[in-house]
Structure 1
Amino acid sequence: MKKIQSFGLGLVFLTLLALLCTANPAGGQDVTAAITGTVMDPSGAALAGATVTAKETDRGTIWTAQTNEAGIYSLLRIPIGTYELKAEVKGFKTAVYPSFTLDLNQTARVDFKMAMGQVSETIEVSSEAPLLQADSAAVSTIIDAATNEALPLATRNYVQLTLLSPGAVTPNPSSFNTGDNVGSGGRPFINGNREQSNNFLLDGLDNNQVSDNLLGYTPAPDAIQEFNLITQNASAEFGNFQGGIVSTTLKSGTNQFHGDVWEFFRNDILNANSWQNNLTGLPKNKLRWNMFGGTVGGPIKKNKLFFFFDYQAQRFDHPASSSFFNVFTAKERTGDFSELLLQRGVQLYNPCAAGTGINGTPCSAAATRALFANNQIPIGMIDPVAQALFKSSLYPAPINGNLINNAVNTRSNNFNSNQYDVKVDYNISEKDRLYWRYSHAFQKNPTLNTFKLFGTGFSEAPIYSGLINWTHTISHNLLNDARMGVNYVKLHNGTTFESSVGNLGETLGIANSNPAGIPGLLGLGFTGGLVSGLGSSEVTQRFPST
C-alpha cells in the first residue's frame, strides 16, 4: 500500500515538474504586456532597490517589481488594461504616474525621476505618454475593443479589420463575408505572402484550421478586448508564420458589471435585384440574415474573482431562390442531338466498330470513327441506366422549348451558428494568478433543393477551444507562466437524399449502388455543360491541436 502511494505521489510530482518545464514552449506566444523603465534621483543617478507598483484600475490587481543596481525595473507578462504606476524608495517622495493603457504585446517604458522628501509625500510625474514598442522592433497594428465594436462589419468577422493594417490586402473582399470562416473564409495577404501563411492565436492558443490554415474559432467582436496584427520583425516567441500573426485576446470581467445586447440584420426587402436575375426574368434572391447576442461580465468577489460571458447566434438564410439548369429534351433522350449540335456546329462520331456497342454488345474501338448521321445516336447504343433515369419520375421534363436553361431548381441555403465564451480570472494571491477560458461554436449549414436528384447538402462544424493559464511570481526577478490549451475543429459535410428517393441507384440498374440501404445515388454525374455532381457523399475532417 505504501509503494502504491509513493508511486502516485511521484507521478503527481513528475507531472507538475513536466508542466513547469514545458511552460515556456507551451505558452510561448505572449498575450500580455510589460512595463519597464529606470528610477533615478534628481541628479540622474540610478536608484537601486526602489519598489515600483502597477495597479490595474478595472480589477484592482497589484503588480510589483524592484529596481536592480542600474535602477531598471521590469513588470513582465501583466494583462492588458489600464494601469496606475508609482515608485517608492526611502528618502524620496512617492512618484505617481497617471493612468495609461497597455496594449497587447506592448512594452511600455516609464521612467521616474524622484524628488527628495518623505515616502508619505506624493508627487505626480508629468511626462509624455509611454512610448509604444520602444523596446521592440516588431511592426504591428493594434485594433482595440472600441474599434471592433464601432466599425461596420457585414458578417461580424473581425478578420476584416486586418485589412486596415499597412501591407495587408486581399484580391477577394467578398471572401470575408461568407458567414463561414472555418470552412472557406478569407484571410489577408500580408507583405506579398499567401493567405495560408498567417498564424491566428486566441489568448496565446493556436487558433488555426490547419487543412488550409483557415481561421479556427471566430469570436464575436463584442467579446474581443483587442487584437494585434504583427506584420514584421516578430519576436522569437512567435512562429508558424511567414505573412502575419493575428493575436487576439478576449475580454475579462472587472469590478463593475458591464454588458450589452445586439442584433444586426440584412433583408432582401432592402435590396435591389441582381443584374443576372433581371436579365433572365427571375425575381430577386431572398435573404434573411440576423446576428444577435450579448455579453455580460463583472465581479464574483471584488478584486479577487471575475467572470465574463458572451453569446452570439447567426441565422444567415437564403430562402427559396430559383435558377435554371439543363435537362435532356424528349429528342435527346432518344439519342437525337441534331437540334443542339446544329446550332454549335458540332458533329458526333461513333467510337465503336461496326456492330459493337449496341444492344448490349461490348464496344470495340473503331480504327476509323464513323460519324453519326444527323447527330443521331441509335437508341440501342444508349446505356440502359441512362434510359431508366430518363423514364424516372424524379427526372423532370423541360418546362419550355429551350435546348438549355429548360428546367428550374429552387434552392435555399442556411448558414446557422451558435457560439459562446466563458472566461474566469482569479487573483489567488499577490504571487499567483489564474485564468480559464472555454469557447464553443457549432455551425450547421444545410442546402435544400426542389430538384431531388441534386440532393440535400449538409455542412457541420463543431469547434472547441479552451485553455488554463497560471502565472506564479517566484521572486522579484523570476516569474513562471504555465499555459495549457486545446483547439479542436471538426468539418463534416456532404450530400444526402430524402428517403422518398429510395434506392434509386439499384432501381436504375446500378448493382450494389445503395449499400446498407443508403438512398439516392452514389457519385453519378453528367458533364459537357449538363447536370453534374449528382450523388451522395460524405467527408469528415478533424483538426486537433494542443
Structure 2
Amino acid sequence: KFSIAMLLLGLCILSSAAKAQVLYGSLTGKVTDQSGAALPNATVEAVNTGTGVTQTATTDAAGDYRFNALQPGTYKVSISASGFATKVFERMDVGANVVRRVDTQLEVATQKQTLTVTSEAPLLQTDKADVHGNLTRREVNDLPSAGSQGRNFQSLLQLIPGAGLTSETNSLAGNPERAMNTNVNGQSNQSVNTRIDGTQDAYPWLPANVAYVPPSDAIEEVNVVTNSFDAEQGMAGGAAVNVQIKSGTNQFHGSADWFHTDQNFAALNYFSRPGTTINRNNQNQFGGTFGGPIKKDKLFFFGDYERTTQRGKAGPDTRTLPTAQMATGDFRNLPGNPIIYDPATGDSHGAGKQQVSCNGVQNVICPNRIDPASAALIQLLQPSIANEVAPNNLGLNNFFGSGTALFNRDNADIKINYVPTQKSMVFARYSFSRILVFDPPLLGDAGGDATNGGQLGNAPGLIQSVGLGATDTFTPNLLFDWNFGYTRQRLGATFDLGTPKGLDLLKIPGTNGAGNPNNNFLYNGLPAFQVQSAAANVNFGNPNTGNPYLFRDNQFVSGANLSWTHGR
C-alpha cells in the first residue's frame, strides 16, 4: 500500500494567524503598548527549556508575531521593545498540531526592567477551526491505562469528548500489539486514523486496529482531532490521532519501571461456587528510557525499551479419546457392548453387513486392516491416551487437557533530533516490536484445538516503523515541512510447519502441497481431522482453517507542506 499526500502551496489569507503543522506546534500573539496600539519591531524570543534551542521573531506592523514550527515542549518566551519593560513568560506549553496564543501588553520603562509571568490562563482557541483534545506525557504515564497485555495509551482515548469506550478485538496472534479501537462521534471504529511522528500506523487486514503501539513511557503527547481536520490529516472520519515520541534534551534523563500482576490480584465472580480457583496468569511488563544530548543545543537522542511477558494456564478442555485398547483395534469393552460392523461388508443400504472380527474374535480389527495413516495418527495420540482419566457412565469425557500459554513482546524506539539552525529541524525515528505467541495444542503432537482459544501453536511477528521529518522556516511567513514514514508488518501463525507430516508421516496423497515445489513451506504440517458424533466431537491435526498464514505488509507515506501566511 503506497500513498503520497503532498500539498505544494497553501495560501492562507488570515488575520495575524499561525498555521500549526501536525508534527509541530505554533506560537502566535499580538504585542501592544498600554494604550492598545500595536508595537511593531518588538523582539520575541522562544527558548525550549529542555533542549535550549532558541527561535527569534519580530512583530510586524500590526504588532503580530508567529513561530510556525516549534518542537512540542515547554518554552520560555521573552518579549522586548526599545523603551518598554521586557516581559518574560517562564512556562509556555506548546503541543503538536496546536496553536498557542500569547497576547501581551508592554509597559513603558524609564530604566531597564523585566516583568516575569509565572502562570498564564489559557485563552479560548481562536486560531484554528479544529476540535481537538490532548493527552500529555504526564496523563499517559500517570493515569491507569491497562490493557490485557500491560499498559496501552489507547485506553485513554475514551477521555476525549465524543469518544466511546475502548476495546480489544481479535486473537493474540492476530493482534499481538493488543491495539484498542473506539467509535468517535458515532463513526465506525475503522475511521480513526493514527500516525506516529507522521508515519501512518494502519493494520490493513484489521482496519479497526493499528500496527504498532508504542510504550507509554515513550510518548511525549497524543493529539486527537475529532472535527474540522486539516487536509494533511486525511483518511479520518471519526478522529485523527497524532502520537509524538519523546525527544532528548540538554540533560541526560532516564527511567525504569516494572509492572506485575498475577491470578492472586484477580477477584472471583460474585456468583462463583465455593472452592473455585483462578487459573495461573503471570504477567510482567518492564523496561526503561534514556535520552540526552549528543551535541548540546544541536543534536539529541532518546531511546526506550519495554518487554511484556505472560505465562498462563490454558484450558482445561474436555474431550473423548480412544482408549488404549481401542487404539489397537479392540472394541470389546465398550459400554453397552455395541456391535462394530465391518465397513467392507453389506451394500449401500446396510443390507448384509457383518460384525467385524479378527481371527474369530468379534469387535476386534486386525492390525493389517488398520489404515497406515490412522495408525500413524494413533501413534501421535499415544501421550494423550496415556493420560486418560476415568470416563463418565457413557464412556465419554475421558481426557482433560491443558497447557501453558506463552506471550513475549519486545518493543523499542530510538529517535534522533538535529537542529542545524534556528530556522530548521530534522528528526529520524526507528521503532520495532518483536512478538512470539504460543497457544498449546490440546493433543500435543497430534494437534487438536488451541487450549487458549487463539491461533494454534507458534505465532511469531515483527513490526517495524520508520519516521523521518524536516522543517525549514524560510521567512516568518513562509514555512516548509516534509515527512516520510514506512511501516512493515510481518505476522503469522505457523503451527507445525517444520515438516510435511501429512505426506511424509501420514502418507496421505495430495497433502502438503504436492506438485507445488515453490510453496512447500506453507503447505507443511498436519491436515485437519474432525470426528463428529451425536455424543462427542474431537479434532485432530490442525483444525483451524486460518492456519497456517504468513503475511508481510509494507506501508509508505510521504507528505510535504509549503505554507504562506499573508496579510490580515
Name the TM-score, length of structure 2 as normaliser.
0.75
Q: Which residue of 2 aligns with 1:163?
A: 158
Q: Which residue of 2 aligns with 1:301?
A: 295
| Higher mean C-alpha displacement, 196-205 vs 405-414 | 405-414
Distance of 2:344 and 2:473 partners within structure 1: 86
Distance of 1:119 and 1:423 partners within structure 2: 46
Structure 2 residue corresponding to 1:359, chosen from 344, 359, 362: 344
Which runs of structure 2 are paired with 1:39-118 in the superposition (5 Å)?
Answer: 39-117=31-109
Q: Which residue of 1 aligns with 2:461?
A: 461
3-state DSSP of counterpart to 1:521: coil
Q: Which residue of 1 aligns with 2:202?
A: 208
Distance of 1:179 and 1:158 partners within structure 2: 20
- Amino acid in the other structure paired with 1:401: P
1:441 aligns with 2:433: yes
Unaligned runs of 5+ in 2: 11-19, 355-362, 449-455, 515-519, 557-568
The alignment-based identity, stated in percent, is 29
Shift of 1:282: 8.7
Q: Which residue of 2 aligns with 1:4?
A: none
Task: Give CA-to-partner distance per residue, 1:151-188, whole Å, 9 cap, x none.
Answer: 23331111111122233223x74659969855663311
Shift of 1:440: 1.4
Distance of 2:281 and 2:401 partners within structure 1: 17
- Is the Cα contact below 8 Å between 2:75 and 2:94 reproduced in 1? yes
- Inter-CA distance 202–283: structure 2 relative to 1 (3 Å threshold): same
1:221 aligns with 2:216: yes
Shift of 1:127: 7.8
- Inter-CA distance 328–239: structure 2 relative to 1 (3 Å threshold): farther
Task: Give CA-to-partner distance per residue, 1:258-313, whole Å, 9 cap, x none.
Answer: 1111111122344467899979x996422221111111111222222211111111
Shift of 1:519: 6.4
1:475 aligns with 2:475: yes
Q: Which residue of 2 aligns with 1:258?
A: 253
Shift of 1:523: 3.6
Shift of 1:235: 2.7
3-state DSSP of counterpart to 1:189: coil
Distance of 1:485 and 1:123 partners within structure 2: 44
Shift of 1:73: 1.7
- Amino acid in the other structure paired with 1:109: R
Higher share of residues assigned helix: 1
- Is the Cα contact below 8 Å between 1:300 and 1:307 reproduced in 2? yes
Q: Which residue of 2 aligns with 1:534?
A: 541
Structure 2 residue corresponding to 1:432, chosen from 415, 424, 434: 424
Distance of 2:540 and 2:487 partners within structure 1: 33
Which runs of structure 2 are paired with 1:331-370 in the superposition (5 Å)?
Answer: 359=344
Distance of 1:177 and 1:513 partners within structure 2: 27
Structure 2 residue corresponding to 1:521, chosen from 520, 526, 532: 526
3-state DSSP of counterpart to 1:209: coil
Shift of 1:509: 5.3
Distance of 1:282 and 1:143 partners within structure 2: 41
3-state DSSP of counterpart to 2:139: helix
Q: Which residue of 2 aligns with 1:544?
A: 554
Distance of 1:296 and 1:468 partners within structure 2: 20
Distance of 2:278 and 2:116 partners within structure 1: 65
- Amino acid in the other structure paired with 2:501: N
Distance of 2:316 and 2:498 partners within structure 1: 20
Shift of 1:256: 1.6
1:245 aligns with 2:240: yes
Q: Which residue of 2 aligns with 1:451?
A: 444
1:188 aligns with 2:182: yes
Q: Which residue of 1 aligns with 2:407?
A: 415
- Inter-CA distance 468–42: structure 2 relative to 1 (3 Å threshold): same
Shift of 1:85: 1.4
Shift of 1:248: 0.9
